[in-house]
Amino acid sequence: MSIELDTQSYIEATTIGSGTGNYDSFLRLQATSVEEGFNTDQNGNVVDNKASFTHSLQWSDMQAISADPDGDGVFSQYIEFRLDLNESNNATNGEITLTGLQVYISGAGATLTDYNAGFAGFVPVLDFSGAQLLIDANHGSGTDDYRVLIPVSAFIDAGVTPDSYVTLYSSFSGSNGGFEEWRTITGSGASEDNPAIAIDKITVDGTASGDGIVVLAGDAISWEYTVTNTGNMALSDVVVTDDQGVSVTEVLGADNSHNVGDINNNDLLDVGEIWKFTGSGQAIIGDYANIGSVSASSNGTTVNDTDESSYFGADPEIAINKVTVDGGTKGDGLNILSGEAISWEYTVTNVGNVALSGVTVTDSDSGVTPVAVLADATHNIGDTNLNGKLDLDEAWIYTASGVAGKGSYSNIGTASGSFTDDASHTGSDTATDGSSYFGADPHITLDKKTNGVDHDLNIFQGQAVTWTYDVTNDGNVALANVVVKDDNGTPLNPSDDFNASAITSGGFNTGDTNGNGLLDVGETWHYKATGTAQLGSYVNNATATTDAYTDTAGHSRTPSATDSSDYEGFSNKALTQGFWGSHSDAWDNVANNEGNPTKSAFASHVLSSLDINPRSDGYLLLGDSNGNGTADANEHTLLISISLAKSIESSSTSGDARVIMLQQAIAAQLNIDNHVAQPNDLVGEAVMWLTGQGAWANLGVNVDTNSDGIVDQNGSALGGSAVKTSSTAWTKYVDVTDASTGITDWNGGKEADGEGLKNALMWFNQGQLVTSGPGGHVAWFNGTSIIDEHPNTLDQFWVTLHEVGGLTGIS
């Protein structure tokens, strides 16, 4: 039975009778109780050596045998050291304990100095330090009791060469004075032919070589086959093969003919020679092993040996799965509301067969930066063993964030990782995966118009108004259930809001070009509403909405758009001096005397009441801007008796400029009393002309000579002297704009004359100089359009008349 001394060397009992002088004895040691020694050529007894039986050994002189010490049926080449114990001559039981056994190789034979230095510099082949009980079963010398088997490969691995010295050191305890002798088969001492061969095969990848190395799959590799003659006979017909079909060739020497190890170029593997062979291939993925076999012959005897070499073919492969994340929903091809915060998740896995280092993740969008989701300060949350490498069963997570854009979007994630094999070759792998989404932009616009105009429409009170509403889908998704609501000009009062009506054809909105009932991208749907123009500034706001659009994650957005349009409603209800002259019963303060024409005018809303005069004292108050019958602060007023006013209004045109002015001033005041807003202080300006005030002073006109605030009256006629229309009071241009208004003078401040003032009153009464009510605007109606509009503030009507141009009495 074999006993392991280490993982590859054995000691076993044996009975080989050969006599002391029949084989090469290289070490004898003898002492009582404890003995030790080593083989050396040093003269004299060294330690417990017996010099006459002790000498050095060289590798080139040693012979190998084929043996199967572990009994597995595989024979390999071993160096055999035989041990003859001589401890039973004087003892009943020949027991002795082996306490140490070391075998070394070195460049020179061992000496006592080397022993004392612990064999420093020697390369160990076997190192047994223990206690192995041995028995001298074969009494007497000449018959071996044990043999130690050390594989030839152990010497080769230690770097043995033909010139190497082999030193064996052994120590025993329990000796009784007999000697112990070590022998081995050598070229000089062997008495038998022992042809033997050994092969040592290794895998080579660049600078790395050996068995079980890790190489990058796809790398060019080679195998090195080292063949050694471990017997005592020269060998011929040396053949090396490989069980995986690798083509094995000799490594030739300088002569390019003989094996590099054929030192004497005799084509024989001589004892101690080491021949080299090689094969090449390409590393495959995963575990790989192949067996090198050698055979040779000597005198008709064939010897052979095998050796296996293996490697692991590393296949660094990485995979990435990228998805888009919107809230609790993740995947590819999501519909996401534009403008939402989104993220991308990158899951990186190892689909190769080796752990990966230097893992990085990037994105094709320069604005997207993936970052690792960390378990601690440095390790990815998927790095379960925290070794900083992407192992085979791990999934590393990275994330990046952004904001959803509009329309189709895709970006590509790229993962990279690398592996470095035993030869320091680095293989990298890169994988990509794209993810996409559609950025939904549910959006509409609203274009609202009044009579086809967005803003600044001038229209007369009472005219028909049509509002049109065009709703356009300028987003990128179809929308349903369009509703247009108008605030009816009262944004703070939703109770009077109304919905505009769709303009349809065949049951569909005229803008629904494909008739699918959806407001598709690019379509414009049409709505309308009608009404009647009011007096003054009118603005109504409309809001268009659709049903909410919901994305893949369940997030909703309701499109909404607003737009307004406006108009300025001007009064067209002013009545001429002729009307008022023929309808004096509408303002004479006499109850129930109205004739049918007046009653008819009232019934048709031409008159606001059967008697529009707010006073009841027989007078008409000229310059009463608000028509309340009272002279208020900042008003320029003048009373005129109704009888005089009726006489003047019904009279024909005369040459008296005062009467001409009063005819239009009375009509203008009656229009005010009939709730038609005057151009700001127009009648007050007439009162100032009539009483010689302001810019009209010193022109020779004053119809209130006694300053009692009442027009002078002489019987049924106007008191005082007539003023001719050729006088300066009628023809002199004066500065009619008050400095406080900020209006820039024109024509050197000579802007209008008395006739121009009369004409302004007349144009107001005739519906040419129009207003949109108190606090509204003043403008000119040219028969077609309302133009030259200004705020109806003090003296702005003069600016309007100036801008019209070409008007008599206006510069």
Q: Is residue 192 part of a domain?
A: no
Q: Assess if residue 627 is contained within a domain.
A: yes
Distance CA 249, CA 256 (A): 13
3-state secondary structure at position 261: coil
| Residue 201, phi then psi, degrees to nearest 5 | -110, 135
Strands 197-205 and 208-210: antiparallel
144/147: higher pLDDT: 147
134 and 231 part of one domain: no
Q: Residues 242, 142: one domain?
A: no
Q: DSSP assignment, residue 491?
A: T
Tell me what pLDDT residue 716 has.
87
Q: For position 92, what pLDDT does the model report?
A: 46
Of 434, 436, 431, 432, nearest to 342 by C-alpha is 436
User: Residue 532 pairs with which residues in a beta bridge?
Assistant: 464
Q: Rounded to whole angstroms, how far apart are CA atoms 232 and 65?
A: 9
Q: Say if residue 67's pLDDT is above 70.
A: yes
Q: Which of 67-76, 534-543, 626-635, 682-691 has the lowest mean pLDDT?
A: 67-76
Residue 360: CA count within 13 A, CB half-sphere:
9
Q: Tell me, yes or no, whether 53 and 172 share the same domain.
A: yes
Write down the residue that tokens 């076999």 correspond to: 293
pLDDT digits (tens, 9 = 90+) for 206-232: 999 999 999 999 999 999 999 999 888
DSSP symbols for 285-337: SEEEEEEEEEEEEETTEEEEEEEEEEEEEE---EEEEEEEEETTEEESSEEEE
Average pLDDT value for the chain: 93
For residues 727 and 612, state if they share a domain. Answer: yes
DSSP 61: G
Tokens of 705: 């000579």
188, pLDDT greater than 60: no
Paired tokens of 431: 């994988």
Neighbouring residues of 247: CB distance < 8 A, sequence distance ≥ 6 = 279, 280
Q: Which two tokens stand for residue 129?
A: 């330090």
Cα separation values, 68 from 75, 183, 411, 445, 677, Å: 5, 20, 65, 95, 131
Residues 669/671/677/682 CA torsion (nearest 10 deg): -40
Same domain, yes or no, for 674 and 694?
yes
List all residues 6 or more positions away from 91 whose beta carbon is below 8 Å from its beta carbon. Answer: 176
Asked if residue 92 and residue 12 are part of one domain, the reply reads yes
Phi, psi (rounded to 5 degrees) for 501: -90, 140
CA pair distance 682, 625, nearest whole angstrom: 9
Q: Which of 23, 158, 161 is nearest to 83 (CA)?
A: 23
783 belongs to a structural domain: yes
User: For residue 153, is pLDDT > 60?
Assistant: yes
Domain check: are 172 and 204 in the same one?
no
Q: Is position 190 within any domain? A: no
Alpha-carbon distance 50 to 27, whole Å? Answer: 7
**Which two tokens mark 251?**
């490594």
In 111-164, DSSP assigns E strands to 123-135, 143-151
Task: Specify if 502 maps to a domain.
Answer: yes
* Domain match, 554 and 410 both: no
The more confident residue out of 233 and 555 is 555
Average pLDDT over residues 524-544: 96
How many domains are there within the chain? 5
pLDDT of residue 21 exceeding 70, the answer is no
Confidence of residue 89 (pLDDT cuts 50, 70, 90): low
pLDDT of residue 272: 77
- Kindly calculate the radius of gyration of the chain based on its CA atoms and give it in whole angstroms: 63
Residue 441 confidence (pLDDT): 98
HEC readout, 626-669: CCCCCCCCCCCCEEEEHHHHHHHHHCCCCCEHHHHHHHHHHHHH
What would the two tokens of residue 762 be? 């007349």
Contacts 24+ apart (CB under 8 A), 49-57: 50/179, 53/25, 53/27, 53/28, 53/181, 54/26, 54/27, 54/28, 54/29, 55/26, 56/26, 56/109, 56/110, 56/165, 56/167, 57/26, 57/165, 57/166, 57/167, 57/168, 57/184, 57/186
Is there a single domain that holds both residue 256 and residue 308?
yes
Amino acid sitting at position 350 = N
Q: How many CA atoms lie within 13 A of 535 on its CB side?
A: 16
Judged against a pLDDT cut of 50, whether residue 371 lies above it is answered with: yes
Residues of the chain with pLDDT > 90: what percent? Answer: 86
> 572 in a domain, yes or no?
no
Say if 238 falls within a structural domain.
yes
Whole-angstrom Cα distance, residue 742 to residue 298?
A: 134
Q: How many CB atoms lie within 10 A of CB 457?
A: 19
Domain boundary among 534, 565, 596: 565
- The pLDDT of residue 252 is 96
pLDDT greater than 70 at residue 86:
yes
Tell which residue, 75, 40, 79, has the closest CA to residue 62. Answer: 79
CATH of the domain at 253: 2.60.40.10
- Residue 518 dihedral angles phi and psi, to the nearest 5°: -120, 140
CB atoms within 10 A of CB 393: 10
Is a pLDDT exceeding 50 seen at residue 417? yes
Q: pLDDT value at position 775?
A: 85
| Spatial distance between the Cα atoms of 755 and 740, rounded to a whole number of angstroms | 24
Q: Which of 48-57, 89-98, 289-298 has the lowest mean pLDDT?
A: 89-98
Instruction: Tell whether 556 and 464 lie within a shared domain.
Output: yes
| pLDDT value of position 606 | 95
Q: Is pLDDT at 469 greater than 90 in this prediction? A: yes
Q: Are 269 and 296 in contact (CB under 8 A)?
A: yes
Residue 43 burial (10 A CB sphere; 0-12, 13-18, 19+): exposed
Q: What is the pLDDT of residue 774?
A: 83
Q: Which of 540, 565, 590 is the last residue of a domain?
A: 565
Answer yes or no: is pLDDT of 191 > 60: no
**Percent over 70 (pLDDT), the chain:** 97
How much is the average pLDDT of 313-329? 97
Domain hosting 584: range is 577-804
Residue 18: pLDDT above 70?
no
Question: How confident is the model over 745-800, as pLDDT tens digits?
Answer: 999 999 999 999 999 999 999 999 999 988 899 999 999 999 999 999 999 999 99
> What distance in Å separates the CA atoms of residue 601 and residue 598, rounded to the nearest whole number?
5
Residue 397: which H helix or E strand, with range? strand 395-403
Q: 585 and 543, same structural domain?
A: no
pLDDT in tens, 480-496: 999 999 999 999 999 99
Phi first, then psi, for residue 135 (nearest 5°) are -130, 130
CA distance linking residue 768 with residue 777, whole number of Å = 13
For residues 584-600, average pLDDT: 93
Residue 684 lies in a domain: yes
Q: What is the DSSP letter of 762?
A: H
Nearest to 767 by CA among 702, 677, 705, 695: 677
Domain final position from 410, 440, 470 = 440
At 531, the pLDDT band (50, 70, 90 cuts) reads: very high
Cα 463 to its chain centre, rounded Å, is 58
In a shared domain, residues 275 and 368: no
Give the domain CATH number at 497: 2.60.40
